[in-house]
Structure 1
Amino acid sequence: MNHDPLVREYIQQHPDDNASTFLTLRQKVRYLMIITGVSGAILFYDWHYTLLILNLVVILIYFTAIAFRCAASFFSLSGYGEYHISDSEARAIPDAELPVYTILLPLYREEAVADKIVGAIRSFEYPLEKLDIKLLLEEDDTQTRNVIGQLNLPEQFDIIIVPDGQPKTKPKACNYGLRRAKGEFCVIYDAEDRPDPLQLRKVVAAFRQAPENLACIQAKLNYFNATQNQLTRWFTVEYSTTFDLFLPGLQIMGVPIPLGGTSNHFRTEVLQKLGGWDPFNVTEDCDLGIKIYKAGYLTRMIDSTTYEEANSRLWNWIRQRSRWTKGFLQTHLTHTRSPFTTLRQLGVWGYLGFLLCVGFSSAMMLLNVIYWILAGLYGSLLAWGVWHGDRLWDLIAQHPQRSLNLHSIVTIHGYHLRAWPLIYYGPDQSPFWSNISIAFFAIACFLFLANLLFVTIHILACLHRKRYDLLGSALTMPIYWILISIGAWKGFIQLFTNPFYWEKTVHGLDQLAHSH
């Protein structure tokens, strides 16, 4: 049992909605039944037919998730999916009418960039005397504490030392800051963030226009080092798509919005009522977005951007991506322990949106690389057959014995392989099941068109943000999706081996690149 009082308090407040337990007994039984059923069908019934059904189920999930994401992205082009507060509107609010605003700054091993976020906050167009800034420092992080101690900070900066102990996560630190928050509103910023200097004023103006049940306003996120290398270009295209198109579209569609890890602005009273963040969830932002919707509150987007540092080193990026996937899976498992209870709390439409945004999107990341490998192998064998004189359609859909050139059969260690039987050929290669194989040709075409559609959405995101220099990177995003799958598999494995470990992202690499 963890002796941290805030951790214990959160578990008591959310006994069924925290990630401290990986799988409940009921979930273990449920998943074991599914695995046993599928394994039994493969071993004792007909593995070809079983794999056919599994493929069709996967494609159905793909189709639904892709249609959902595309619909959200296209809806957002209307401009109704976010608050638009002009600079003049923000500045029009008299200083005397501005509320006290709490800023939570969780800093762990951020000695290289800690002074940057402090400087960014000092540049805010918001009265310093109305800021309540919580610097959340870990007890064992002496280097960051030393850097902060040398900055000669004004009294509005309140240093809070988070006791050492497990879990050592950002949400645990934020809960310490939330406990001492004085502001009517509060926001989280990361160490490397460069927020819009008017962002706090814009959010105050938006809350004034909003209904009372609006709990959170999410600012847009993007990157200031977008062109540092090809990885940062792809990362920027992805973020532009997510925060400029997808999340505003979710607002229009009225489904839960998985929050970003920074620049989420809350009504402090509501956030305290919800208990803050799950200290065991490594994507506490996504989890909190679902909890807000469950409790009957709203989340809205605002057209104000916080610029972050895009990961520019591949291994650092994979570690970050693995944490995101692990956290999304934690969130999915946490909120599907009692599916019917969650269905009642979210409603049918909200529950579908939650599944598609969180669980199904994680599954797609895991499955993508498998399907890419199979597609590459299948395509290679098709090319082999065509090169040796076979017709492409015969290779895809016709009975293997129908006038095919024997050269189209590849022999590896005594196994005779053809492109089409690798997917499904039915018992005894019957004409009926051979003709059914055309379904797999249709599936291959669908996956190709789906990828093409995603590339189109990425292009729209670049055009929407006027990042014309990133259009070439948008066209090559399928390469980036393979990297996403690699990171996702790392996170999936770590979910079983080290579920609460926080993969620390190294910041300041853009400065290092410039120094060279």
Structure 2
Amino acid sequence: MNLDKITENFVKNHPDDCSHILALRWQKLFYLSIILIFLGALAYRWDILLHVVNSFFVILYLGVILFRLCAFALSILAKGHIEISEDKIKALGDLPIYTILVPLYKEANIANKIVKNINLLDYPKDKLDIKLLLEEDDKETREALEKLTLPDYYDIIIVPDADLKTKPRACNWGLEKAKGEYCVIYDAEDRPEPDQLKKAIVAFQEVDLDVACLQAKLNYYNATQNFLTRWFTIEYTSTFDYYLPGLQMMNVPVPLGGTSNHFKTSILKEIGGWDPFNVTEDCDLGVRIYKKGYKTRMLDSTTWEEANSNTWNWIRQRSRWVKGFFQTHLTHSRHPLKMLKELGPWGYAGFLLSVGGSSFMLLANMIYWFVGIVYSAFLLSAINAGYTIQQVIQGPREIETMAWPLLYYGPKEDPFYSTLSICFFVITIVLLLSNFLLIFIHIIAAKKRGIPSLLFWAALMPFYWVLISIGAWKGFFQLLTNPFYWEKTEHGLNDDIEDSDEPLKKLEKVSSKS
């Protein structure tokens, strides 16, 4: 593979943290052994295999759900964000240079808007160091920027052409030339709150010296555009307002968001910047920050983004996210004992549940929902035939109904149906419990954000999770066939909303209540 010099240096200096190799030999043998054992058990004792597999995923489901619930509860009970008052902002003295990295690729249609939004930041212009990062082959975006009259604190950096074209690769080129004491990433469509940089500086002055990153909240200005943007907004509200703050309070690795990460530049350079091969470089960097003994804190400031409003575009984006989480899991699982020592038992458990565990759960969702729906359909047919649930599950063989073989799991049942019945029953109960808890979490998140119009849509989140599972399977297969391919998310799909400030003002108003 043809690589640029900065990418080559990352591979050379951080081989254990780089995703340039999908899996080591022992990892491949390990997963191959699992497949062979699975096939052997399927042929020899399929009933035992079914119980083992089902037990594994039930434990996984419960572990991930309870982990998220604990994080959410902690964040509700004690605020996990750093809040900065106006008085503290006004008391700031001489401000340091702040580097802003803006990776752009095929964004000619919205290049002028990111410049406009950055210019709205309340920060001395002579203290800004803005790096617009362009791929060498992206002539359209370069021409669009050249038509603008950019101030001298803007610097267009052309990332040399190479086989690898990812956002983290571009960010590393910007980091090498960064002049600021602090730096932040903004995406092309971002609208950060004007005082966000000043809030970050006050926060860095107040927190411990080992805090390397402040993650701002992310949310969407086109929340009510369609059903997909509503669900996406609910998910982000839950994640950035409660889940990530909860992880920080639990003292486990925090998978960062893809934008509005504020860093101490010196520490970011010390740990090597971003993994150029990882397609969720944000998640990976959050793990490596924790791994190197540093901390991430959450900042009470919101960056407004464009929610993906096109279903296929959204699935492509989600597939990249899940693929990147799997990359991160595989990369940091190469040396489990070493990782356990570096993260500690609690941190390692948090990493497994928030990165690998949640990704595996997304794959299992599609299968388990199908099984749960089939079981529920049989149960309803038996009830319609006049039997109670207790009669069907524990009743005698004389019960005449098609549903009976897959519902009854008593001692006189055929082993085949008995095994399926037990598994189906457990799966359905776990699914109902898990979905109820997650819906409850999302309803609370939407309510506390002050967006009552989304409460109804929060109750319909299971339909959104079906889409997530589709994206997860797409990402999983692409992990095996094209692991480093960056699924480009198309922006600027809602110009009618984006050109108007009314939706943004409305959301900012409700945000101030949260």
Shorter-chain TM range is over 0.9
Alignment of 1:110-121 (within 5 A): 110-121=107-118
Contact 1:48 1:425 in 2 (8 A): no
User: What secondary structure, in the 3-state scheme, does the structure 2 residue paired with 1:480 have?
Assistant: helix
Instruction: Find the counterpart in structure 2 of residue 211 from structure 1.
Output: 208
From 128, 133, 136, the equivalent of 1:131 is 128
CA distance in 2, matches of 1:442, 1:246: 27
CA distance in 2, matches of 1:436, 1:170: 46
Contact 1:329 1:359 in 2 (8 A): yes
User: What secondary structure, in the 3-state scheme, does the structure 2 residue paired with 1:129 have?
Assistant: helix
Change (3 A) 1:427 1:105: farther
The alignment status of 1:254 with 2:247, answered yes or no, reads: no
CA distance in 2, matches of 1:396, 1:375: 16
Change (3 A) 1:398 1:429: farther
The alignment status of 1:419 with 2:444, answered yes or no, reads: no
The alignment status of 1:12 with 2:12, answered yes or no, reads: yes
CA distance in 2, matches of 1:311, 1:259: 19
Provide the TM-score with structure 2 as the length reference: 0.93
Residue 428 of structure 1 and its aligned partner are, at CA, apart by 7.0
For 1:64, the aligned partner's letter is G
For 1:155, the aligned partner's letter is D
Instruction: Find the counterpart in structure 2 of residue 481 from structure 1.
Output: 465
Contact 2:200 2:299 in 1 (8 A): yes
The alignment status of 1:351 with 2:311, answered yes or no, reads: no
Alignment of 1:11-160 (within 5 A): 11-44=11-44, 46-94=45-93, 97-160=94-157
For 1:30, the aligned partner's letter is F
Which of 464-473 and 313-322 deviates more?
Answer: 464-473
Residue 390 of structure 1 and its aligned partner are, at CA, apart by 3.8
CA distance in 2, matches of 1:4, 1:357: 32
User: What secondary structure, in the 3-state scheme, does the structure 1 residue paired with 2:133 have?
Assistant: strand
Residue 209 of structure 1 and its aligned partner are, at CA, apart by 0.5
| 1:426-469 Cα deviation digits (max 9, x unpaired) | 997269x9499557534422320221111110011112211111
For 2:92, the aligned partner's letter is I
For 1:52, the aligned partner's letter is H
User: What secondary structure, in the 3-state scheme, does the structure 2 residue paired with 1:312 have?
Assistant: coil
Contact 1:87 1:198 in 2 (8 A): no
User: What secondary structure, in the 3-state scheme, does the structure 2 residue paired with 1:144 have?
Assistant: helix
Alignment of 1:373-392 (within 5 A): 373-392=370-389
User: What secondary structure, in the 3-state scheme, does the structure 1 residue paired with 2:494 have?
Assistant: helix
| 1:379-416 Cα deviation digits (max 9, x unpaired) | 222223333344433433456xx1111xx227xxxxxx
The alignment status of 1:282 with 2:279, answered yes or no, reads: yes
CA distance in 2, matches of 1:337, 1:435: 36
Instruction: Find the counterpart in structure 2 of residue 495 from structure 1.
Output: 479
Contact 1:379 1:419 in 2 (8 A): no
Alignment of 1:335-374 (within 5 A): 335-374=332-371
CA distance in 2, matches of 1:495, 1:425: 43
Contact 1:281 1:500 in 2 (8 A): yes
Contact 2:319 2:471 in 1 (8 A): yes
From 220, 225, 229, the equivalent of 1:228 is 225
Which of 506-515 and 207-216 deviates more?
Answer: 506-515
From 236, 240, 265, the equivalent of 1:239 is 236
For 2:54, the aligned partner's letter is N
Which of 362-371 and 187-196 deviates more?
Answer: 362-371
CA distance in 2, matches of 1:70, 1:382: 30
Instruction: Find the counterpart in structure 2 of residue 451 from structure 1.
Output: 435
CA distance in 2, matches of 1:398, 1:496: 47
Instruction: Find the counterpart in structure 1 of residue 493 from structure 2.
Output: 509
| 1:292-314 Cα deviation digits (max 9, x unpaired) | 00000010001000000000010
Contact 1:248 1:301 in 2 (8 A): yes
Provide the TM-score with structure 1 as the length reference: 0.93
Query: Between the two proteins, what is the percent identity of the paired residues?
Result: 53
CA distance in 1, matches of 2:410, 2:42: 15
CA distance in 1, matches of 2:22, 2:372: 33
Residue 286 of structure 1 and its aligned partner are, at CA, apart by 0.2
The alignment status of 1:294 with 2:291, answered yes or no, reads: yes
Residue 492 of structure 1 and its aligned partner are, at CA, apart by 0.5
Q: CA RMSD in A?
A: 2.1
User: What secondary structure, in the 3-state scheme, does the structure 2 residue paired with 1:103 have?
Assistant: strand
CA distance in 2, matches of 1:353, 1:493: 25
For 1:76, the aligned partner's letter is S
Residue 148 of structure 1 and its aligned partner are, at CA, apart by 0.5
Instruction: Find the counterpart in structure 2 of residue 413 from structure 1.
Output: none
The alignment status of 1:404 with 2:388, answered yes or no, reads: no
Can you give the 5+ residue segments of structure 2 that lack an aligned partner in the other structure?
A: 500-514
Residue 374 of structure 1 and its aligned partner are, at CA, apart by 1.0
Contact 1:91 1:201 in 2 (8 A): no
Contact 1:396 1:441 in 2 (8 A): no
Instruction: Find the counterpart in structure 2 of residue 461 from structure 1.
Output: 445
